[in-house]
Amino acid sequence: MCGFVCLWNIGDESLAEKMVSKIAHRGPDAVEVVRGQGAPVVMAHCRLSIIGPEDGRQPIWDKGDLLVANGEIYNHADLRAILGESAFETESDSESILHLFRSGELRWIARLDGMFAFVLATKTRIIAARDPLGIKPLYMARIGGGLAFASELKAFDGIEVEAVEAIGPGMLYDSRDGLRQWYRTPHGAAEEEPGLDVEAVAGELRLVLDEAVAKWMLADVEVGSFLSGGLDSSIIAALAARLAPYRLKTFAVGTEGSADLAAAREVAAHIGSDHYEEVFTARDVARVLPHVIYHLESADVDLVRSAVPTHFAARLAARHVKAVLTGEGADELFAGYTYHHGYADHPHELAQELTRSLNAMHNINLQRVDRVTMAESLEARTPFLDRDLIDFAQSIPATLKMRRTDPEARESTGPTTEKWILRKAVADLLPESLVWRKKAQFDEGSGTVAALEEALMIVSGADAPLDRAAEAALYERLLREAFETPERILAAAGTWESEERVSAE
């Protein structure tokens, strides 16, 4: 895990150093700035050592080609075996990107399995690409006749550039061929086929989940797990506790007496993890709010609200581990949000909405998780967004995700249960009371909503709680104060929006 800057046809090492210094929090273990030999490129990299800690420094230089990468390639051992171990100079998983490119396969990038963003330069080409759902960030801008790439928007702050744009999820830019989409999220299935064996579907889902967690725990350092006490993080932590060759460390945060802290303790005791928790107050929230907004690179109300507990969880975890697993992605895959209940009798619309929300994660929840954890030099991993798990989950009918739990109830009556097939798949893994517990938003269960209301009064000096418009205005003011060129940040920021179905009845 790391951050990087790349300048193509811009021979300015001091500029690269200035830009990478603004994202140095992403990689405190080493910082390198390298000018290409024979290639018109300058690359800067700040590293958080996770795989190949002894010899995995970047940029990776080999035979005139230069590479910087952010993230993890989980199938790098398989790629080494296929490409030939003798070609590799380091133990870094990122080096497999370089040799796979050299293999000459037309769709070589599709062989990469993991979360990643990278820039690869040869003497005549620059190539930049991003993982299927955009778990890891990548931005591009033009400076004069050249191109600049960076892991975060703040690297461009105060620098004279043309419009900064994100390279989208599953996209690859090639200076020779332009931009292309190398990955497309499979469309979700809607209704069950006659005779579908639901038990078999749940059983297979469990196997795919097991494999995903095992894959995303790959590291040369210890990996911990966020544990809010909700279903998603509890599933990941429970599976990780079974797979880890050490006693898993879990991390929970909340206000005094919050539901999340109590639920997390129950889960930690059940799975036998080494559990850590931290209580925060409204004054703590007021103190960290400018820091959170600066690193989040967004003033969106919903993102800020959810980023606050993520910050405290990341700060706590970073004291003990370098990487953590999170439950991000389960709601989008298995219909976990409150508004999804409105689709209970409209499975085709639900399948479309889940696919849409998966494709929108990159600049909302995934941006929050990446920026806020990396601000604390912590790598966050999202096993629910494993490529094989996405493929399988999208093949599961929407009717098994949002399901009417009373088989005798007529259409449009009776209770509905979100993430039903996921709950069924893990029924033996966790206490029944948790498996079928109704979802609470992270900012609600952790007590952040009440603490934030008081914190906003402290920051603004108001005598009464702020309404949503005033809250949004305060976040935007804090963001503007944090950046030299705030319009550039605001223009690129994502906004959480649901396409709630309006009933025609």
Q: What is the DSSP string of 315-373?
A: HHHHTT-SEEE--TTHHHHHT-SGGGGGGTT-HHHHHHHHHHHHHTGGGTHHHHHHHHH
**Cα angle at 316 between 312 and 322, to 5 degrees?**
120
Where do the structural domains in the chain lie, given as residue ranges? 2-181, 198-484
Alpha-helix residue ranges (DSSP H) falling in 36-92 = 76-83
Which has more pLDDT, 164 or 440?
A: 164
Two tokens, residue 166: 């994100």
> How are strands ordered across the β-sheet holding 323-325?
274-279, 249-254, 223-226, 323-325, 379-381
The pLDDT value recorded for residue 504 is: 30
**Between 453 and 504, where is the model more confident?**
453
Q: Residue 355 — very low, low, confident or very high, per pLDDT cuts 50/70/90?
A: very high
Give the bridge partners for 404, in sequence order: 416
**Cβ-based neighbour number of residue 17 at 10 Å:** 14
| 283-292 residue pLDDT tens | 999 999 999 9
2 catalytic? Reply is yes
- The total number of residues written for the chain in this structure: 505
Bridge partners of 331, per DSSP, are none
Confidence of residue 115 (pLDDT cuts 50, 70, 90): very high
Residue 450's closest CA among 313, 305, 253? 305
What's the average model confidence in pLDDT over 101-127?
96
Q: Which residues contact 407 (CB under 8 A, 6 or more apart)?
A: none
129 versus 505: the higher-pLDDT residue is 129
pLDDT, tens digit, 9 for 90 and up, residues 10-57: 989 999 999 999 999 999 888 889 998 888 999 999 988 777 666 567
Lowest mean pLDDT among 91-100, 117-126, 148-157: 91-100
Residue 440 has pLDDT above 90, yes or no: no
Query: Tokens 């419009």 map to which residue?
Result: 163
93 known ligand binder: yes
Residue with tokens 């795919």: 208
Q: At what angle do helices 282-296 and 448-460 cross, to 10 degrees?
A: 80
Which of 103-107, 325-329, 479-483 has the weakest average pLDDT? Answer: 103-107
pLDDT at residue number 502: 35
Tell me the pLDDT tens digit for each residue of 246-264: 999 999 999 999 988 999 9
Is the pLDDT at 505 greater than 50? The verdict is no
CB proximity list for 177: less than 8 A, separation 6 or greater: none
How many C-beta atoms surround the C-beta of residue 111 within 10 A? Answer: 17
Q: 206-221 pLDDT, tens per residue?
A: 999 999 999 999 998 9
Q: Take residue 193 and report the two structure tokens written for it.
A: 């086929």
- Out of 1, 2, 189, 361, pick the active-site residue: 2
User: Which amino acid makes up residue 37?
Assistant: Q
CB 15 within 8 A of CB 6: no
Say if residues 314 and 372 touch (Cβ distance below 8 Å): yes
Whether 345 has a binding-site annotation, put simply, is: no
The reported pLDDT for the residue numbered 210 is 98
Q: Out of 44-48, 189-193, 287-291, 412-416, pick the least confident.
A: 412-416
Beta strands, E only, 13-158: 30-35, 41-47, 60-62, 65-73, 114-121, 126-130, 139-143, 146-150
Spatial distance between the Cα atoms of 234 and 419, rounded to a whole number of angstroms? 14
Reported as a pLDDT band with limits 50, 70 and 90, residue 500 is very low
pLDDT at position 249 is 98
Q: What is the pLDDT of residues 363-403, one digit of tens each?
A: 999 999 999 999 999 999 999 999 999 999 999 999 999 99
C-beta of residue 58 within 8 angstroms of C-beta of residue 2: yes
What CATH architecture does domain 2-181 belong to? Answer: 4-Layer Sandwich (3.60)
Q: What is the CA radius of gyration of the chain?
A: 23
Query: What pLDDT score does 89 carry?
Result: 82
User: Across residues 72-85, what is the average pLDDT?
Assistant: 92
Q: How far apart are CA 351 and CA 356, in angstroms?
A: 9
Other C-beta atoms closer than 10 Å to the C-beta of 291 total 14
Reported as a pLDDT band with limits 50, 70 and 90, residue 129 is very high
> How many other CB atoms are there within 10 angstroms of residue 468's CB atom?
9
More reliable by pLDDT, 460 or 50 = 460
293 token code pair: 């907004």
- The pLDDT score that the predictor gives to residue 26 is 95
SS3 state of residue 268: helix
Which residues, listed in sequence order, are joined to residue 118 by a DSSP beta bridge?
Answer: 69, 129
Mean pLDDT of the chain: 92
Q: Where are the beta strands (DSSP E) in 144-248?
A: 146-150, 165-166, 171-174, 178-181, 223-226
What one-character-per-residue DSSP string does 383-430 give? Answer: GGG-HHHHHHHHHS-GGGTSEES-TTSPTT-S-EETTHHHHHHTTTTS
Give the pLDDT confidence score for residue 318 in this predicted structure.
97
Quote the pLDDT of residue 411.
Answer: 56
Q: How far is CA 186 from CA 140, 170, 381, 388, 391, in A?
A: 27, 12, 22, 11, 7
* Contact in structure between 259 and 230 (CB atoms under 8 Å): no
Cis peptide leading into residue 347 (ω within 30°): no
Residue 501 class from Cβ within 10 Å (0-12 exposed, 13-18 middle, 19+ buried)?
Answer: middle
Please state the φ and ψ torsions of residue 450, each to the nearest 5 degrees.
-70, -40
- CATH number for the domain formed by residue range(s) 198-484: 3.40.50.620
Count how many Cα atoms sit within 13 Å of the Cα of residue 442 in the half-sphere of its side chain: 27
Kindly tell me if the per-residue pLDDT of 410 is higher than 70: no
- With bands split at pLDDT 50, 70 and 90, how would you rate the model's confidence at 503? very low
